[in-house]
Every structure is written in C-alpha cells, then in structure tokens.
Structure 1
C-alpha cells in the first residue's frame, strides 16, 4: 500500500484509487495540488520516461509504474503527468530510456532508477548503497562501456512528494547589510553531535534551535551552514588506517538533490519531516535575529566521474548537465570531484536559479556561499567566460536582489579570481586576508604592507571594479584547514586518519607551534599560543570587511592537527562545548570584541580609506606610523605598525561620530615602544584592547577603559596588539 501523510504514520492509498492525466510541463518537480500531484522532469534525449511510485523506501518493486506517452505527456523536452488521488508523502523515482553510448556522451539505462533533480525531500530511513547504481558492470574489462541489467531500486533513496504549506508566522529573510554582519561558519550535525552539547536532538536542525542561546550570547548575526542539500554520507570507500573505521562523507560537498534538505539532520523519521524542521530552524534563528546562509555546491554532483553511480542527472541527460571532455566518454574535472556541472547551459542555468529561488522564497534563507564559484564562470568547453551568464543572472535576479551571494572565487582547474570575480555585487571569501594575516602574526619578514592592505578592506582587490570593503569576507580559519587552536599549535598537518596517506589537505598553512610542533605542557609556549589566538581574533574583528568566525574557535576547538576533516563524522569534527567553560576567558574576549565592533561604526565603514581628511579637522581618515611616530618606510618597516583612525562621521561615512582610535601591532618577539600622536581636543587615550593582558584586562567593558599613562607612548609586549580609543575621561565610549 502507498502511504502519503507527512504528519501522521500515513493513510493507505489503493492503486485503483489513482487516475492518470496528461499534466502540465511546469513547475518542475512534484507539485502537490488539490486532488493529485503533477510531475514534470526535463530530458531532451530520452526516448521514453516512466514514473515509478513506491510504497516504502526499501522497495525494489514499484507499486505502480506509469509509462509516459510522448504525445500526451511530453511538451518540448519536458515529460509530465498528473496523478490524481496521490498526496504529499508519496514516494517516486523515474526510469529514462534512451541511447547507452558512453563514447558519445549518452548514458541512459532504464535499469537504474533516477532521482528527480527538483525533488524537495528524499527518504532517509534506510542505508543507501549507491554502488548498485552504477550503469555498467564494474568487473568487466570494458568498465563503463559495459551495460548493467541489475535493478537498483531497493538500494537508492526515493523522492518524497512534499506539501509546501508552513506557518511562518510572518517571518521573512532578515537580509542584514553585509557590513553589519559577523558570520559564524558551522556544520548542522557537528554543531550539536558531541555529547557535551547537552541538547535533546543532537546533530539535527532542532539541535541548531537548541543552540541559539549560545549563538545569541556570542553576538554573531549570521549562521553559515556547510551543505545541507542531500548527499550520500557513505560515498567514501576509505577506512581510517589506524582504527579500521569506515570513513564518511561528513562535510557534504557532494550534492545529489539540490532542493532537498538532508533527511538525517531531521530528528523525526516521518517522511518529509526534514523540510518542516529546516523551516522551523530558520524561523527560530530569524526570531533571534540570526540570518541563515547556505553553502551550495553547484560546481559538481555526487555522481562522480565515468565510473560513478547513475543516480539522477547522468541518467536523465548526461550531455546536457555536465561538461564533457573532448572524448565525451569522460568528464572535465574542474571540481576535483570527478565531474563538472555545465552551469552556463540554459537548462542548467535555469535549474540553478530555480533552486536559489526555492531556498529563498520557500525556505526563507538569507544568502548563499558558492563552493568553487569559478566553475560558474566556465562555458560548455570548460573555458572561463568574461561575462558568465549564470553569474550575472544570479547577481541581477530580482528575487535574489537582497540575498547575500558569496563566492569561493577559485576552482580545482586552476582558476583563481579573488578580487576579479565577475558579476558586480558578489562578495568573496578572501583567502589573501587569511594568508597575509597568518604570515604577519607568525613573524614573517616584509609582510607589513600586505597586512595593512588586508585589515583595511583589501582595496587592491575590490576597489577597481567598484566593490566595497564589505565584499571581502575576512577569515582566519574555515572548515577547510586548521582550526584556530591548531593554527597556533601545529607546524604540519596530521591527516593520516583520512586514509589518503597524508596526501590530502593544504601544506601551506602558515602556522607555527612556537617551539613545539603539537601539544605541549610548557607554560611559556602555551602562553604564547593563547596570545596569538587573541591576536588573530582581534585582528579579524577589528578589520574593515565582513568577518567570518569558524564555529568553536571562540574556545579553541581542536581537530588534532587534521586540516581536511571532510571524512571525520566523529569527535574530531564535532564541537566539544565543554571547551567553552574551560576557555571561558577567550569566549568573553570574542563576545566583547563582537560587541565592540557593533558599537563602533568606524570598523564597519562602507567605503575604503582614502588617506585624506573629509571633515576638515586636519586629520586623515587613516594615518600610518612606525614605532617612532613617523610615517613608515614601507620598504623597510618589519613586523610592527600603528594606525590612527579618525572617527568623525564624514571620515567613516556614518550617520554619527565615533571615537578616534589608535591601533598598534607588534608581531616581533621583543617588546616595542610606540610613540602616539595626540588625541582630539578635550579627550584622552584609553586602552580598550591589549592582547598581552590576562582576562578581563585583555578587553575592557565600555566605560571602564583605563586612561593611558603617559599619553604619548605605549610599550607593546612581544606578539601583541593594543587598541586605544579617544574619549572624554568622564564620558562613556
């Protein structure tokens, strides 16, 4: 029997209660209507299409197969049918018949059931085995040129018909301006899977809801989630060489169903519950003033290379969806994951826009981070386009106009477009900020000029094409690489447990252990590491641009030196919240830094510094100094620098005056005395931040900042940062 309720255990529907009508070609996917469900799927080169309806996720045999009539059920390249009597909760897949000619780019095989590219939910109640979905016979010498007659329906997930009805209670995307945002990058499962999270629903969307008080307390504005679109958690064949444990696909950068939230992140096992729970999470986050940004992976799919499974796109129209090699048996691999989506084909372009519209309109998300975004700029041959249609269309789309769009502006095929990503209003993950700030605080020589450029918004990257400082997403760490703790602890990666013989992960980490490579009990080394962590965090949150924190860095979460934990669905990747208590002083430091940034518009300025005076007080918007108080010799200054920021509203382009500020950075191993210019009339310099001091003296609460004495100089401890603000000693900042 067929069950169709997403709220109860289900109401049976007899096959004889179902009737079939021609249906409509739009919208794509399965659309629940009064009295039935309309199905529509694209395939240009299929010769026949069958809709398969199932009773349960494990079924290998369909309850009903509806073979579509190409005269009645096809409009152009769209196959469609209306099934009256069907309701939300129904399970379905497709079978597509057509030429199986891999050497010509065609890979139709009706023995392999196919996911609907527009499916809004997949079944998650059983273990997938996509090795059965290969359209060829693996042990045959001709490999992918052979033809498999094995039916795989019992081993793959089924699509779920979803009812879009949901009581949003007036919720809308928050759409904060980027310059007012502090982004927090996290993994839905990893945020609460660790027992220390203490939540009732660990590793789920509801677990995220239970975590809101922690996020709110920290002060972040925007939660950026690693991929939540459906992927196969078991597509990694490797084992941990140390434990023998099967490794997994943890991060999720191997999407199979772009409209469907991950089913195993739902706490309920009721069909389609993941859609409602995702919406509940978004609504709860919005109610608490926190945006939701999704990491999306439109550069490839989880079908892999020519030896991968035929799960959806490959079996529906391989030569349309993918960029094929000159020998069309093979795929261009600009993603490093076996295939590359043909993003600028009109059909694929419309699919991407439809998908983004769905997540904004139906799921209320506030923005997207596009993994390996440079692939969006490649044509059907893999060449980079000067004005890629899909990138411009996303930027100019009227529905997405207030939606954040953030590019990872490179790919695995050699493209690197940081500072030159096309399309106008795109923000970018700025890896130049990450690397240059790391090198400066490590104590590398001749990095001052680069460091100063990064902390002032990277004008060398974003000014020339009319973008603003906030288009630079500044970060020190992200999911991809060392955590902050590991950045100041390890000098080389420790990726053996990933099963790739240490060949994976970046080697150029610009990290340092400060005397020991790895953990140590030496109190001197531990003190330096803690100070360096504060230096990195203070630099990030006091820089011009949009800061992004990696979840757990506020209390020094570690991955044991693993800088590519994509396969570690275990405590290596899960956030250990007990560290928040152990490192409560650092949590306070980060919380106060975020609050400081939000109080002071000078650090959220919308325009680049000019070095000129905009309000006629004879003080430029920014002035640079060496320790002697003179203008720096940029060719010679090394590991030290100071800057004065004029806080007048004209200079910071704000609606009110801010304080003036004096920042000093000492990345050397020796104490350095800085000469300080006079503060504005009727004010005195007060020490707001000093990373060399213990808590709570490392950052002072507003109004408690001590007056600097003497006013004209300050001795900076080795490897430290000091921030002064100017105010009337009798007034609050």
Structure 2
C-alpha cells in the first residue's frame, strides 16, 4: 500500500510494508529503509523528519500487519535513507484500545546509530535520528593484549586535546586523540579507557556557576541519550556521519599502534531522569520494562540521577546486549567499563540478586567473548560489591579498596601497612579464586582528586560546581604537605613530589591491572575540585606540563617500563609464600605488622622465567635496610628511588645501579624498587 507523500516528495509516493521484527532499530534497504521498535502502546507511528531542523515530513501509522507482539516493524520505500531523519510517536495503552489519551511527542529510536541536531559542543541539541549505512570497511583487529600486560589510561576525548597547548588541528576530537598515540606509546600505555562517548547532552546540567550564573556543562557525559550513537560534538564536524567515521578511524589507528580501546558505558540510568526530566524514548515506549518503579509508578532512584534502569528485565537486558555487540562489531572496541555496575545485579524491585541474569549473559555472549569486562562494583545506595560483583572469571573490577589502602599507606595511617600488603600482591582476600587480574588497581581516576591535588589539598574545593561546595567525595584521605593549595615552599613541594612518585611506583609494582588517570604523569591539577563532572576547561590536559613536569613524566614512563620488564609483577596467580613472596623489615624476614608500623618491604620471585624484585616503602623517618639475599649469581640493582632528587630517581630497564654491600638507605617517606640481575 502507499500514502500520499508530503511536499518534499512531490511526484513520488512513499510505500510501506511489513518489516523484520527481529532486527530493532533502522537500517537501509534498496530503495528505502526498515524501522522496528519495541513499544507497549495502543498505536505507534513512524515519523519522517527533516534532519536539518526536525520538521515533520510525514507520519506513517504502523498497521496491524506491522505488529508482532510488542514489536512494530515497517519497511519504507521511496525515501532516500541517507537523507531522512526519523522518530516515533505512541499512543499509550494496549494494542487495539480506543483513542482518548494524548499521543506522545516525537520519540528517539533507542537503537539509533546516529543522532543529528546536537551541533558543536555546548549548543542546545534538537535530536533527530539518522540512518547510517551498514557496509563499512573493517577496523584493524584489536591487539589482543594479555590482561596481565595491560596498562590502562583513562581519559576524556574532549579534555585530552582541547587545551590550546595541544596544538591540535581539531582540538577536542577523536582525530586529535589519535594524533597523541606516539605520546601514549612513549609513556608505556597499551590501552585507553574513554569516558562516555555515546551521545549525551552536555547542556542538561541544571546548576550554574556561582557569581556569573553561567550554565555549567555535563562535561563527563554520564547521562546517555543515544546509547548506539558516537557523540557528534567529538568529531571535526558535529554530524552523526562524521562521528561514525572518525570514531572508527580512531579505533583503527589505535589498534594499528598496538593500543586497545575500552568504553565507559552507562547502563544504570538514562538522561530521562525522574518525572521532571525529558522524555526521549524509554519512558514513553515501555516505562516499567526499562526502569525500576515503586508501587505508585514513580521512578526508583538508586543512582542519585532520578531513575534506575531495570537491567534484568528481558527487554532491557536484550537492549544492553545489542548495544555492547554494536560497539564491538561496528567499531571494533575491545571492552567496556560499566558505570555503577551493581545496578546490573538488581531485580525489578531493586533487590540485589544472588545470580543476576544480565552480567552472566554479558560474560557468556559469543560476540563479546574477546571483550574485557570491568565493573565499577558499587552504586549510589552505598552498595559495595568489590570482590563479589560476579564469580564469573570474565568480570574484573575497579578495586576501590586498592585506592583507599594505597592512600592510607602513603599517609601513614594506623594499620595501613598490613592492609596494603594484600593489595600489592593482587588482593587475594578479595579475589581468592579469580586471581590478581580480577583487580583493576588505581589510586586516582576521573572521579575525585587528581593525584597532584591529592598531595596538595586536605579537603575538597568544589564551590565552582554551584552546589555550595558540598558535592563530591567528602573525605579522600588526602594531605596537603603543610600548606593548602599552591605553594612556593621548597619543603612542601618536596614532600608533595615524593608522595606523588610513591603512588606511581606502587601502582606499577602491584599485581593486578594498573590504571592511570590522564595527566597524573604530568601533575594535572583541578585546583582541589574533586567532582569536576561539570567543569570543562578546568579538566583539560595542559600539554605544556609535559615540559615543566618532564622529570615526573620520565619517572612515570620508567615505572611502567620496569613493570613491563618484570613478569613477576604481572603474575596471574596468587603467591603461596616463600620463595614466591616473602616479607621483610629493617632486617630480612622480620616484617613489622604492628598498627603503627611504617615500613612495608616485600621480595617477589619466580623461577621461570627467572625474575626477582624487591620493593620497599617507608612512611616514616629515614632508615637503613639490610636487604634479603638475591638469588645465587645475581646482585641487587636499584631502578626506582623516590628519595632521590627528581631526574635522578629512576632508570630505564637494564640501566639500574648495582648496589655494593647488603645495606640500602631508605629516605623518609620514600619508596624503592630493585631487581636482581647477574
């Protein structure tokens, strides 16, 4: 059958017929396109739109022959799919119910692969779904890095190159990030983890800057609008076509350089918020399927964002799986970090499940079989599933216990030596069966103080966020070194620099998968703001610091090179005791586990391939250690020493200084790493 075409199609007709209910979303076909959507509704319309301004061109009703169950599927001919925009309208109710309630506005397709109308960064979007081609040139295969060898670098696409010091031709874009690959390789990074790149509205923040009243952005992007669409504002031209092409090019270029790509994905809430938020799609299509609701039908807010995704509902679980497969098959990404992943473990009432279906399905999905899966095993209710998110060995976790225990150790908190000892060898108390590689170790990330600010501020400074300064993590176990904020005092600066390097050294020598936050290698600062989700320019990477902080950058690279050179640091199994691991103090085999202890020293050894490393961290006054004997035929070589002056505190693998005698001077609040060489 056909309907009369609107003026744009003068002289032609638009033909419609049944579509494929098994393929949701919109796809081009010869002479037109197909569109299918799941909707719990009395009636549904496919709306054809002008992609430039969202003007309605035609509204095509889904007829009874277009419906299979709750899926409405239609094939449209006589339309150039690459030139048209589309959306849906629904009439709430059950199929066949009489009219009487208002028809929705034009809804977005939850599976739209492209969203037009977002414009340049900071412009208010008027989203229109676009249909992108199916057939594309293949992306270079991922590097298939053994998890034991991964070094993850967490960064923000815009913030990494937006600063004028980057010198990028198109700053803040996918292409500009690709140009920084030589820098990442020199640093020793082989995996980038990108903060959310699925389409989001950076103008949806309701807070304003104190004093000026200027709107604050949703800079991080944890408020997804289009789960299948790369963010257009991160492309050199803010169109879905360019975003699609340039993100594919970024992944391809990173892969060719031996660098894997992880995406930070947000399946715990959506940009629709609570009843006061916009209705983009999910709320009108199937609110009780996609969201957790209370007995009055109001959204449950377990995420502190207004709504909570009903992750283990069959419709929502299918959506999540389709979305993950999409990023793997279309763009070639190598894995995902799941924001507030404990939501994925909840049932329709919000109760935590002992055996949730969705995480198991993700881990066992054949398309995702090679994908790295990392859970942030918490949510906004205070739930903390670190160590227990899933028993499936495919799942790894952001180890917040590692972060906290490392910080406490370096601040000489009581009892911290014994607690961090478990973290250094891979957290066997948390992952007794899964092994060290279940743990993604980090000391700083996007959420919280940067590593430099952790050494310079004893409290958060968030007034610029427009929330009265009370937002963000209340206590980050930080210390300012004797003066809050910027300082010119040489003693303060020396204490800060040493503590910063101690953190980097510990991260590099700990078993598990290390993650470095972008800029921590050059002392990036947010001036004490520990919740910079709404701070654009403040969060940018200042590339001039690669010169002014060249010593710190070199030290970081040497730490990562030391890790890469020593397989004993990357073992996938937990140690069982001497000689695999032995603990020491000022004298060999005499560790101090007292509550007020201030020295942690460990020898890590493996026979095949032969490798032995000694690590010590001193959180108190200077002391002299008598070193344990190295293996027969070897002697200790000093590679990393944060007690030495910057620039002389690290050496590349193969260039360590051979020690004379059996004693080592360990400066106050300093750490060392040694290796046994012939």
Please, what TM-score do these two structures have when normalized by structure 1?
A: 0.88
Deviation of 1:688 after TM superposition, in Å, equals 1.2
Contact 2:119–2:239 (8 Å) recurs in 1: no
What is the aligned partner in structure 2 of residue 665 from structure 1? 617
What is the aligned partner in structure 2 of residue 148 from structure 1? none
Say whether residues 1:84 and 2:87 are aligned partners.
no
CA distance in 1, matches of 2:592, 2:408: 20
Deviation of 1:30 after TM superposition, in Å, equals 0.3
Report SS of the residue matched to 2:500: helix
Contact 1:129–1:156 (8 Å) recurs in 2: no
Contact 2:116–2:239 (8 Å) recurs in 1: no
Say whether residues 1:51 and 2:41 are aligned partners.
no
Q: How does 1:72-221 map to 2 (within 5 A)?
A: 72-86=65-79, 87-99=81-93, 109-126=102-119, 156-168=126-138, 171-221=140-190
CA distance in 1, matches of 2:186, 2:474: 35
Report SS of the residue matched to 1:88: helix
Q: Which of 364, 373, 382 lines up with 1:396 in the alignment? A: 364
CA distance in 2, matches of 1:633, 1:716: 16
Pair 1:269–1:332, CA change in 2 (3 A): closer
Contact 1:373–1:407 (8 Å) recurs in 2: yes
Instruction: Name whichever of 178-187 and 701-710 sits farther off.
Output: 701-710
Pair 1:597–1:109, CA change in 2 (3 A): farther
Pair 1:37–1:645, CA change in 2 (3 A): same
What is the aligned partner in structure 2 of residue 700 from structure 1? 651
Contact 1:377–1:390 (8 Å) recurs in 2: yes
Once the two structures are superposed, what CA deviation does each residue of 1:272-315 show, in whole Å capped at 9, x if it has no partner?
22111110110011011111000000001000011111111001
What is the aligned partner in structure 2 of residue 353 from structure 1? 321
Report SS of the residue matched to 2:602: strand
Contact 1:367–1:404 (8 Å) recurs in 2: yes
Contact 1:647–1:661 (8 Å) recurs in 2: no
What is the aligned partner in structure 1 of residue 299 from structure 2? 331
Once the two structures are superposed, what CA deviation does each residue of 1:162-210 show, in whole Å capped at 9, x if it has no partner?
11322226x1233322111000000011111111111111111111111
What is the aligned partner in structure 2 of residue 235 from structure 1? 204
Deviation of 1:403 after TM superposition, in Å, equals 0.5
Instruction: Name whichever of 253-262 and 117-126 sits farther off.
Output: 117-126
Report SS of the residue matched to 1:644: strand
Pair 1:79–1:251, CA change in 2 (3 A): same
Contact 1:661–1:723 (8 Å) recurs in 2: yes
Q: How does 1:11-22 map to 2 (within 5 A)?
A: 16-22=12-18
CA distance in 2, matches of 1:290, 1:15: 52
What is the aligned partner in structure 2 of residue 621 from structure 1? 580
Ranges of 4+ aligned residues in structure 1 off by more than 6 Å? 127-131
Deviation of 1:661 after TM superposition, in Å, equals 1.7
Deviation of 1:15 after TM superposition, in Å, equals 7.7
Q: Which of 62, 66, 74 lines up with 2:60 in the alignment? A: 66
Instruction: Supply the RMSD in Å over aligned alpha carbons.
Output: 1.9
Deviation of 1:14 after TM superposition, in Å, equals 5.5
What is the aligned partner in structure 2 of residue 585 from structure 1? 551
Contact 2:187–2:557 (8 Å) recurs in 1: yes
What 5-or-longer segments of structure 2 have no aligned partner? 1-7, 95-99
Report SS of the residue matched to 2:82: coil
What is the aligned partner in structure 1 of residue 343 from structure 2? 375
Pair 1:607–1:129, CA change in 2 (3 A): closer
What is the aligned length?
Answer: 664
Pair 1:336–1:197, CA change in 2 (3 A): same
CA distance in 2, matches of 1:716, 1:685: 15
CA distance in 2, matches of 1:697, 1:88: 59
CA distance in 1, matches of 2:556, 2:528: 23
Once the two structures are superposed, what CA deviation does each residue of 1:66-100 show, in whole Å capped at 9, x if it has no partner?
1111x121111100111113322421111111149
What is the aligned partner in structure 2 of residue 138 from structure 1? none
Report SS of the residue matched to 1:38: strand
Deviation of 1:704 after TM superposition, in Å, equals 2.5
Pair 1:709–1:38, CA change in 2 (3 A): same
Deviation of 1:114 after TM superposition, in Å, equals 0.6
Deviation of 1:122 after TM superposition, in Å, equals 0.3
Contact 1:291–1:365 (8 Å) recurs in 2: yes
CA distance in 1, matches of 2:453, 2:265: 27
Report SS of the residue matched to 1:479: coil
CA distance in 1, matches of 2:590, 2:429: 21
Please, what TM-score do these two structures have when normalized by structure 2?
A: 0.95
Report SS of the residue matched to 2:254: helix
Deviation of 1:357 after TM superposition, in Å, equals 0.6
CA distance in 1, matches of 2:101, 2:281: 10
CA distance in 1, matches of 2:145, 2:596: 39
CA distance in 2, matches of 1:495, 1:449: 33
Once the two structures are superposed, what CA deviation does each residue of 1:34-88 show, in whole Å capped at 9, x if it has no partner?
2221000001x201111111123323x311111111x121111100111113322
